[in-house]
Amino acid sequence: MKVPGNMQGMMKQAQEMQRRLQEEIGNIRVEASAGGGMVTVKMDGHKKVLGVKIDPEVAGDIEMLQDMIVAALNEGYKKAEDEAQQKLGGMLGGMGLPPGLF
């Protein structure tokens, strides 16, 4: 099935935009902490954990440490998601799409 030239160009443009968006999201870096900074996590825009820093004082209380790790990861996930959505909105804003579509 042959796609009309204009449609084919639009599809190529959309694919390029998607590639650039994924690259920009991958470049996002967020940091989140819990327990007043006793546990800190670093994540990228794809929500991949890049690092974890734990204050030695909290290492003795395993249950509290586990709770703080979960809280820091959840906060990092939220921050990464928020930044990715901002990038997406910025890139798609110039396309004239209806608000709330993405």
Could you report the per-residue pLDDT of 23-42, keeping only the tens digit for each? 888 899 999 999 999 999 99
pLDDT at 91: 67
Rounded CA gap, 100 and 93, in Å? 11
Find the helix or strand (DSSP H, E) in which 12 lies.
Answer: helix 5-27
Left (φ > 0), alpha (ψ -120 to 50) or beta: where does 36 sit?
left
Amino acid identity for residue 9 in this structure: G
pTM equals 0.69
Give me the amino acid identity at 2.
K
Q: What percent of the chain has pLDDT over 70?
A: 83
**Yes or no: domain 5-89 corresponds to CATH 3.40.1000.10:** no
Q: Where are the domains of the chain?
A: 5-89
Joined together, the tokens standing for residue 68 give 């703080």
